[in-house]
Structure 1
Amino acid sequence: MKTKRKLSHKHFRYLTKKEFKDPLYAIADFCVNAMSLRDWKDSIDLVIRIACTSPKGLKRRRISDLYGYWGNLNKQIDFLYLLKHRIKDWEISKDTSFYSATFYYHSTLLHDLDLHDGTYMWFDRLKAKEIKQLDLFINKFFRFMSYRQWQHMMDRLLETFFSDSQLGQYVAYGGKEHKIFRLLEKLGEAMYLIYLSKSKEHIAKHHPNDERVAHYYKESNIDEDNVEQTETELDEIPDSDA
């Protein structure tokens, strides 16, 4: 029988105490200041390509870039797991003062009304129903592998950057690698969706004068009754590998 315990900073290998305390701010900082959604998707594609082939021919600087992308993916898995236990309502509105959404057959276009005087973001990995209700994806992500199993997998994925091994050659992931890669692609989009649908409102309320991420945000009255604070209950993290 699973037991309950407090979710604390020590459970997360890649989050600073500040990021653990305020993950919505950290996600906004990444999405606003690190790279665009398109660039982040290209970065994840490179990680996947190397995990399937070989790092031969890559320059040392590119290997360094890969390590940085790998670290950001680890952080984003941590963010997803943390917010899974903090946010109750994941349903998004089609149009708000922070973004607008247009749904097409195979993709969704979201318009950030504030970033650089207006920025369009294409979402073509997450399904429309997952965008409208992100917890459908979050639950799928952690049903496929537990939080601890995702950590183990990411450790194996890192090894492919420095050898001729491929992720699918590990017994635990053979035949599953394509599903893993698809979920990582969706994870990348999920971070930008969280930024648009959760982080912007959070920052407008709690960090309205922040020079790093909020200098272009509109003032808004936000009801955050659906967001739980730092301490929360969760099922114990299993220690078994995938």
Structure 2
Amino acid sequence: MMGTAPRFVAAKARPLPVLVLADVSGSMAEPREKIDVLNECIRRMLADFASADIGRGLIHVGVIAFNQEGATLHQNLAPAAGASWTDMEARGGTPLGAALTLAGELLHDESIVPARAFSPTLVLVSDGMPTDEWEEALDQLLSSPKGSRANRLAVAIGPDMTEQAKAVLRRFVTDDATGVFEAQDIGRIQQYFRWVTVTVTQRVQSTRHDRSTVLDPEDLSDFGA
């Protein structure tokens, strides 16, 4: 009796999660260009990630929006290729603690971020000081298995960002090598998100997906909008 031909099953691509924590408080609407540019930057990032979903890694993107209504999952953490972006609206306060708590819950849920996933990238975008209790939520995120391994980035938007507010973002980031990027004008926001796109795309195309980013966000001439 002839043997059955062996079956070869292609390895399923491992998810590489990217989670944006977006401050959409009322101050992001003043001037209106801030929230408009943030929406456009995320829309473009999703499109770029969708075209980069190749090889052994598959980029998944989610967006947590936080404002007067608390923290909500504005964009489900799912493959970028299937995303359909809806613009966020800016209003109310800045409940960062609620956003950090929700981020921790998402990372902990293995039906959303499975154990086989590559370490996530977390991007915190804010233009002001939190308006809720955020320190305990941050400590819990940073001490969690996936949160502690995440590549955590932050961008401070606008020229009126106080040193106290920037200090909050500095506690969030992975290390001083990337630090808190200051986008004092609209063009800098666009270029920073382009830098995020390039660094994450390089990870998914690399044989070492969990390597630390080596690109300098301050060298913006390489990352035109």
Q: TM-score, normalised by structure 2?
A: 0.26
Structure having the larger proportion of residues in helix:
1
Structure having the larger proportion of residues in strand:
2
Higher relative contact order (CA 8 A, sep 6+): 1
